[in-house]
């Protein structure tokens, strides 16, 4: 079985938190009915059906407007079967961890093999923590990463030097000004909000979502303790551009659970349908 043949949510060629492409899992957007500007029409022109009410016309116009879709990234992929499960469920992106202390760390050889398993419309994200720039460049030479995720204490100059799209993680805690944090990374595609814990990574813990301001200047990727049980509330309450999950869909550290992945994606889909109703 190959991920290339899997049915998945459609999207842009690379994972972008701000993207709004529609998924094939969602109802397709109907074309709005446009009433004629005058009674004179060229032969074969579409006429307004008799009895079509203005209320029906307005409903059609509302349905034709762009609808939001929350992007989904399954992070910490270490096995081919887990990657295939994520793609089959409809994930937009998968994350490979290049941080040696992590139980989800993958070697360059393993990462290269995994990256060859997916179609061009599933994005490959590389996660780094305070890595030597030479390590990032070596990784880019070996693995076709679409997006870089910096999860340590990197500044914007560091993040920009590789010439690749990137997102920057913020470890959320009281006293951290997230607006100022985002303004320090204006070149980022978005900021990833994770729980503050000792070390790096949220360790599967949630944080106080009320600490997220509504006026952030960058798209938000919500992370930190998300599970199939709480992600629907997270999406409907916070409306992030994307969600990022790792331990919340695992059977053990570094080992994903296909059922949990499917349930997580389904919960995000349900939240989007609710928001777009």
Distance CA 258, CA 79 (A): 12
CA separation, residue 85 to residues 41, 44, 275 (Å): 53, 49, 26
Under 8 Å between Cβ of 161 and 147:
no
pLDDT, tens digit (0-9, with 9 covering 90-100), for 152-176: 999 999 999 999 999 999 999 999 9
Distance CA 221, CA 153 (A): 18
Distance CA 275, CA 277 (A): 6
Predicted TM-score (pTM) of this structure:
0.77
Domains and CATH numbers, the chain: 67-276 (3.20.20.70)
Residue 75 annotated in active site: yes
pLDDT, tens digit (0-9, with 9 covering 90-100), for 106-139: 999 999 999 999 887 999 999 999 999 999 999 9
- For 231, the token pair is 């992600």
Which residue ranges in the chain fall short of pLDDT 70? 1-66, 199-203
Q: Which of 82, 194, 244, 272 is catalytic?
A: 194
- For 206, the token pair is 């949630």
Q: Note the pLDDT of residue 120.
A: 79
Distance CA 54, CA 256 (A): 51
Give me the helix-helix angle, 108-115 and 133-142, nearest 10°. 40
Strands 147-150 and 166-172, bridge-based pairing? parallel
Q: Note the pLDDT of residue 21.
A: 39
Q: How many CA atoms lie within 13 A of 4 on its CB side?
A: 7
Give me the helix-helix angle, 80-89 and 258-276, nearest 10°. 20
Strands 255-256 and 250-252, bridge-based pairing? antiparallel
């Amino acid at each position: 079985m190959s991920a290339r043949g899997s049915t998945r949510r459609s999207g842009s060629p690379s994972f972008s938190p701000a993207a709004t492409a529609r998924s094939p899992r969602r109802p397709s957007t109907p074309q709005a009915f446009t009433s004629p500007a005058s009674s004179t029409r060229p032969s074969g022109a579409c006429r307004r059906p008799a009895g079509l009410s203005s209320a029906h016309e307005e409903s059609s116009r509302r349905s034709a407007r762009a609808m939001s879709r929350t992007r989904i990234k399954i992070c910490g992929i270490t096995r081919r079967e887990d990657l295939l499960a994520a793609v089959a469920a409809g994930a937009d992106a998968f994350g490979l961890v290049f941080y040696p202390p992590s139980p989800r760390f993958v070697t360059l050889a393993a990462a290269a093999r995994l990256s060859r398993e997916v179609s061009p419309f599933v994005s490959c994200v590389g996660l780094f923590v305070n890595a030597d720039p030479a390590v990032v460049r070596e990784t880019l030479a070996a693995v076709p990463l679409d997006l870089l995720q910096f999860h340590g204490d990197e500044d914007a100059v560091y993040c920009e030097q590789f010439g690749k799209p990137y997102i920057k993680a913020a470890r959320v805690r009281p006293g951290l000004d997230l607006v100022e944090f985002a303004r320090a990374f204006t070149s980022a595609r978005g900021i990833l909000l994770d729980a503050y814990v000792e070390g790096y990574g949220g360790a599967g813990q949630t944080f106080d979502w009320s600490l997220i301001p509504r006026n952030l200047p960058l798209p938000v990727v919500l992370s930190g303790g998300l599970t199939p049980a709480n992600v629907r509330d997270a999406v409907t309450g916070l409306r992030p551009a994307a969600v990022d999950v790792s331990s919340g869909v695992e059977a053990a550290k570094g080992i994903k659970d296909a059922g949990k992945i499917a349930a997580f994606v389904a919960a995000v889909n349900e939240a989007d349908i609710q928001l777009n109703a």
